[in-house]
Every structure is written in C-alpha cells, then in structure tokens.
C-alpha cells in the first residue's frame, strides 16, 4: 500500500514537522512518502500533483489556514480517484471529527490527538485488513456508520519517536520546526494547549543530537514550536548553553523560541546577554495587561517582572523580541486594549504583533462564547467580529491600527520618524497609531499595496495634516530614515537635496584618504577607493540630524551637516557606528 503524507503550508518556506514525525515513527515498515504544497497553489494543480503520486492512501495535516482548501481538494480527488483512501489529522480535525466525517463522505479516517502511534497502527491494520476498533484516537467508517474510538493516551516517553530529521530531504531553504517538549503548564482559555496534558520533554541528549545535526547541515532558521520553551528553567538553560557552545564566527543560523518572560531567572538573563547578535529570537505572549481579562482567560502573569525581563533583554541589543497582544479577549474594551498596547509598545520590542481573537475548536472561550457575547466567523480561522465589550466598529478601527503598525513601526523603515512624532505630538503611542489609522482610512491607502518609496511620502503627508509645526526638521528625519535602509544617490523629489560645491571631487578625495578611511570606515580599510564608493553615501542635512534623532532640540540651528552612511554592514545601519558626521571641506 503506497501512502502519501501531505499538507498545504501557509508559505513555501514553511515545513511540516508533523508529517516527518509520522514517517519517522513508522520507519521502513511501510511505503510512505512526503510531499508538501502551499495554500497559494491552485486546487487543480494540487489535484494533479497528488493524482500523479499514484498512492492508495493520502493523509492530510489540517490547520485553520488550510482546512477549507483541503476539503475542497479531497472532494475532487475522490471524483478522479474513487478508490483512494483519505485520512485527516491535525488540530483542526481533532475536535468535532465525528461531525466532519458525517458532513464529508469523502473522508475515510480521522486521527485525533497525537498521531504517531495511531497512524502506525492504522497502516498495520489496513495492510492485513484487521478490525479498526482497537486503534485508539481513530474515527473511521464501518459500513454506513461513523465510529469514533476512545482517545489515545499521550506519549509519556517522547524519545520513543525517532528523530524526524534523519533525512533533510526537501528542506532546502525552509524554516525547520523543532520540538523539545509537548504540552503546556498553563491553561489559557483562548488556546488549544489548555486542553492538553502536562508538559513532557524529550531527553536532553536527544535534543542536543538533533540540534547538532541541523547546525551541521547548514539550515538557516530553527523554530521551536514548544508552547512555553522555558517551562522548565534548568532544561531551557541547558539547551541555551549547548547552542551557545556550538556558535562560531561565520555560523549563519537563527533559533526562535516562544518563552514566558516572567519565568526567566536572573541567571538565564545573564547567560543570554552573551548570545551573539541575531543567534536567538524570542516570541513573548503578553496578550493583555487588563487584570480582569487575565483572570477570565486563566492566564497567570507577573507584568512587573515581565517588563523588567524585556527591558533587561533589550538592553543587550542581541536578541530580537516579538511581543504579542490579542484584541477582543473577555472584558477587554477599546480603552483597556489601548492601555495594553501602550504598555507593550513602551517596552520597545522588535515587533509588536497585534492579533485578533480566534475561537478555536476545543478552546475554553469557544465553549463560553455566549457568555461574552461573541459573534465570530463560522469558517476558519473563526475570528471574532465583536463582543459585549468591543463593537464591530471598534474592531475595524483596531484592524486599521494593526495595518499602520505593521507598515510604519514593525517594518523598522521609519523608526526615527515615528519616534519623533510620538514624542513631540502625542500623549501615548496608541494615540499616534489611532490617528495614523484614521488618516490611512480617509485617504483609502488601505485598499491597495504600495511601493516602499511611496510610504515615506504618505508619512510626510500625514505629518503635514496632523502635526503641522517643525515640518523642516521632520522632513530631514524622514530623509535620514530613508537613507538608513538603502544607498540612494538620487533621493526622491519630496526630500530636499542640498548641493555642495565640488562635491564629486571632495567625495572622491575622501575615499582615497587612508587616514579618513581608518578613522570613519575601519571595516573598509582594505578596500580600494572605487569599492568604498559603492558601499557608502555622504548626504547633507539642513540641521545636525544626529542631535535631532538623539532627542536634543536645544540650540538646533540651520547649517548644512554632512552625514556619512556606511552600507557595508549586512545588519544595516542601526548601529550608530555606521553613520557619522564628517567634514568634506
């Protein structure tokens, strides 16, 4: 029996850990192949690809982002290949699977819960045509009836599952998803993890062995899918230490973890202060700062401790921090959400992710939806439209806030400009993004995509309408932001360009002057003048822009100041060593 394991990933760079676990657990006992596709591929194309595989059984891993397209695909598949057997698994079919099979006669089997043992038993029983009633965690058809077997106990000794990465076939240029534990110590009511058992860990030896294999293979990013990586502090410390021991100059890899910040010890923070820049990145779920909301969703969190940990980690400037908020949680109205937003924004994360509550199948909030007056979309991703505390109109406003936050803050193309506007014209960060969202909607800019260059012009337009004064200073800050990201000798017409007498000769002389290169561009000291000219730009500003971006407005006078931008550093110009005042005379 030929078996195909497949899924529709959200993006091409994603990969499926679940499929690799299933195949690894079965070993060479069955004829199993893995093929991964994306939701961006047309259903007809996917149908042809699966048909050509010539398999007897096809198993789909199902999630909120792919369930609709998967169900459409299996209906077509059964039409062109009536004898093929269809198996579904994954979080989106682990609840109400019985009902789903009643609705879709094309589904032959559903595995709910952890799938490794159930999948192997299913294949074994199908091979010898054995009764399926003893396969725990399985829903199947018996004649015209749908039968749901008892749930399977979770795997306590995770090490019995072979490594999913014995082979890295098909993973070139993909994000590698990795698991060091299963389960969750918390009971957050918006999350499916609240329905899972307590945390179980792979052994440290197993985790280290797999990680070393990935490091040596040259993969670029490893994303831990553990719901709370630091649930066990000592275990997490050991993994961090191991990864730090593996680092060497030139190693190009990044490790992403979901952590609970208020659980981090002083010892852990001190260890992380030594991490190479960009080697680790952390996602921290704050979700809300409203005490009543946190109590209702059963989320235990020390916000004061969280704040200190985030500020401490930020001070080392070596770990990208991604902090999450969820709009429409119970008792979180527009004003309390504003407070949550301001709290997180002021922590200065690398990214503030503004998400919207989804009532996932099996979650506590979905069971209590009527209590909070939730109206939500019936189809995946089951996003909430309004609640007793937040109207649909307010949700729309927050959607627009999310769009301008992504465009003008999380992109980091406008850091100094946004900071200047916030500090000089708004009482809180949310007030700024609320006005920016209003402007964005009034102009209709949300209706279509934009080139990056146009966004600078739109922010300039916003400033003229909402801030008015000191426009000359702001335009210079905006120009500075523009040049930080790209070498652009011919800057757009909406910026002022100031001519310097004999600029070309002065610029060329500067690049030939070894003393000046050693002083301002030591990392380029071994390059020729021609090579240096391709890696730098010198631009004149109406004010001493470096004083302005440092927050100093006292004594700022007009007078051309030349700023040297060094584009040779692949990390960009956020390090202040990469731009400086110079004298071209």
Q: Please say whether the beta carbons of 115 and 137 come within 8 A.
A: yes
Both 441 and 522 in one domain: the answer is no
Q: What is the DSSP letter of 471?
A: H
Q: Are residues 194 and 295 in the same domain?
A: yes
Asked if residue 70 belongs to a domain, the reply is yes
Distance CA 386, CA 357 (A): 10
For the cut 70, the answer to whether the pLDDT of residue 91 exceeds it is: yes
pLDDT digit string (tens) for 443-499?
A: 999 999 999 999 999 999 999 999 988 899 999 999 999 998 888 888 999 999 998
Give me 249's structure tokens: 């100059």
DSSP H helical ranges for 229-386: 233-246, 266-272, 291-296, 303-316, 334-345, 364-367
SS3 content of the chain, % helix, strand, coil (to 5): 45, 15, 40
Q: Are residues 216 and 364 in the same domain?
A: yes
Look at residues 116, 148, 180 and tell me which one is the last residue of a structural domain: 148
**Is residue 17 located within the same domain as residue 102?**
yes
Is 410 a member of any domain? Answer: yes
Q: What pLDDT score does 560 carry?
A: 87
Taking every pair of C-alpha atoms in the chain, what is the biggest distance, in angstroms? 90
CA 158 to CA 114: how far, in whole Å?
A: 11
Summarised one tens digit per residue, pLDDT across range 21-63 is 999 999 999 999 999 999 999 999 999 999 999 999 999 999 9
Kindly give the pairing relationship between strand 200-201 and strand 221-224: unpaired
Task: Express each pLDDT in 328-374 by its tens digit.
Answer: 999 999 999 999 999 999 999 999 999 999 999 989 999 999 999 99
- Residues 210, 354 within the same domain: yes
What string of H, E and C letters represents the secondary structure of 384-448? EEECCCCCHHHHHHHHHHHHHHHHHHHCCCCHHHHHHHHHHHCCCHHHHHHHHHHHHHHHCHHHC
The rounded distance, in Å, linking the Cα atoms of 110 and 135 is: 11
Single residue among 420, 435, 469 that ends a domain in this structure:
469
- Mean of pLDDT over the chain: 93
Q: Flag whether 476 is in a domain.
A: no
Q: Is the pLDDT of residue 552 over 70?
A: no
What's the whole-number mean pLDDT along residues 126-141?
Answer: 96
Which of 329, 357, 352 is closest to 341 using CA atoms?
A: 352
In a domain, 106, yes or no: yes
Residue 452 has a pLDDT of 95
Rama region for 533: left / alpha / beta (φ>0; ψ in -120 to 50; rest): alpha
Same-domain status, 129 and 206? no
Of 361, 389, 417, the last residue of a domain is 389
Averaged pLDDT, 144-162: 96
Task: Give mean pLDDT, residues 69-95.
Answer: 97
pLDDT above 60: residue 571: no
Assigned domain for 207 exists: yes
Please give the backbone phi and psi of residue 284, each rounded to the nearest 5 degrees, phi first: -120, 115
Of 196 and 172, more confident = 172
Q: Averaged over 297-316, what is the pLDDT? A: 95
Structural domain of 306: 158-389
Hey, what are 345's tokens?
Answer: 């924004």
Q: Does one domain contain both 407 and 432? A: yes
pLDDT exceeds 50 at position 159: yes
Distance from the first to the final alpha carbon of the chain: 79
Quick one: average pLDDT of 7-14? 96
Query: What's the number of domains the chain is made of?
Result: 4
Residues 218 and 285 in one domain: yes
Residue 573 pLDDT exceeds 50: no
Kindly state whether residues 318 and 197 are assigned to the same domain.
Answer: yes
**Is residue 439 domain-shared with residue 333, that is, in the same domain?**
no
384 shares its domain with 396: no
């Amino acid at each position: 029996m030929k078996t195909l394991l497949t899924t529709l990933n959200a993006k091409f760079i994603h990969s499926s850990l679940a499929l690799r676990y299933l195949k690894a657990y079965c070993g060479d006992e069955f004829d199993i192949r893995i093929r991964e596709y994306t939701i961006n591929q047309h259903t007809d194309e996917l149908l042809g690809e699966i048909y050509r595989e010539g398999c007897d059984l096809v198993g789909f891993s199902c999630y909120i982002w792919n369930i609709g397209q998967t169900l459409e695909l299996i209906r077509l598949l059964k039409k062109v290949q009536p004898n093929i057997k269809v198996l579904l698994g994954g979080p989106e079919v682990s609840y109400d699977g019985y009902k789903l099979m009643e609705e879709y006669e094309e589904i032959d089997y559903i595995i709910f819960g952890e799938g490794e043992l159930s999948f192997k038993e299913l294949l074994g029983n199908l091979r010898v045509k054995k009764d399926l009633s003893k396969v725990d965690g399985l829903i199947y058809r018996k004649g015209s009836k749908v039968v749901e077997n008892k749930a399977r106990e979770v795997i306590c000794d995770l090490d019995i599952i072979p490594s999913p990465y014995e082979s890295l076939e098909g993973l070139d240029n993909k994000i590698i998803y990795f698991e060091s534990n299963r389960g969750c110590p918390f009971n957050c009511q918006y999350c499916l993890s609240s329905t899972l058992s307590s945390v179980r860990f792979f052994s440290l030896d197993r985790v280290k062995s797999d990680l070393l294999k990935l490091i040596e293979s040259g993969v670029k990013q490893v994303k831990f899918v553990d719901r709370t990586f630091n649930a066990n502090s000592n275990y997490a410390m050991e993994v961090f230490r191991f990864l730090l021991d593996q680092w060497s100059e030139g190693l190009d890899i990044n490790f992403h973890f979901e952590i609970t910040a208020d659980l981090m010890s002083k010892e852990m923070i001190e260890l992380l202060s030594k991490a190479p820049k960009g080697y680790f990145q952390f996602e921290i779920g704050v979700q809300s700062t409203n005490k009543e909301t946190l109590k209702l969703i059963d989320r235990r969190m020390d916000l004061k401790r969280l704040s200190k940990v985030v500020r401490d980690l930020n001070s080392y400037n070596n770990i990208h921090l991604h902090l999450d908020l969820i709009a429409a949680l119970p008792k979180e109205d527009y004003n309390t959400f504003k407070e949550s937003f301001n709290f997180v924004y002021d922590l200065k994360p690398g990214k503030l992710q503004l998400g919207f509550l989804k009532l996932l199948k099996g979650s506590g909030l979905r069971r209590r939806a009527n209590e909070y007056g939730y109206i939500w979309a019936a189809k995946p991703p089951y996003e909430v439209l309004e609640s007793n505390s937040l109207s649909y109109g307010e949700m729309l406003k927050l959607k627009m806030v999310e769009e301008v936050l992504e465009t003008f803050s999380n992109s980091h193309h406008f850091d100094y400009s946004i900071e200047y506007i916030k500090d000089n014209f708004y009482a809180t960060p949310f007030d700024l993004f609320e006005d920016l969202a209003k402007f964005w909607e009034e102009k209709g800019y949300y209706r279509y995509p934009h080139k990056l260059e146009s966004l600078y012009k739109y922010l300039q337009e916003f400033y003229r309408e909402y801030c008015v004064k000191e426009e000359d200073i702001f335009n210079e800050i905006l120009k500075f932001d523009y040049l930080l990201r790209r070498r652009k000798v011919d800057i757009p017409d909406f910026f002022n360009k100031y001519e310097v007498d004999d600029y070309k000769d002065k610029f060329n002389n500067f690049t030939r002057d070894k003393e000046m290169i050693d002083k301002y561009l030591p990392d380029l000291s071994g390059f020729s003048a021609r090579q240096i000219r391709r890696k730098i730009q010198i631009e004149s500003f109406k004010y001493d822009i470096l004083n302005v971006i440092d927050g100093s407005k006292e004594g700022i006078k007009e007078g051309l100041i030349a700023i040297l931008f060094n584009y040779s550093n692949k990390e960009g110009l956020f390090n202040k060593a990469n731009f400086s005042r110079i004298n071209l005379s």
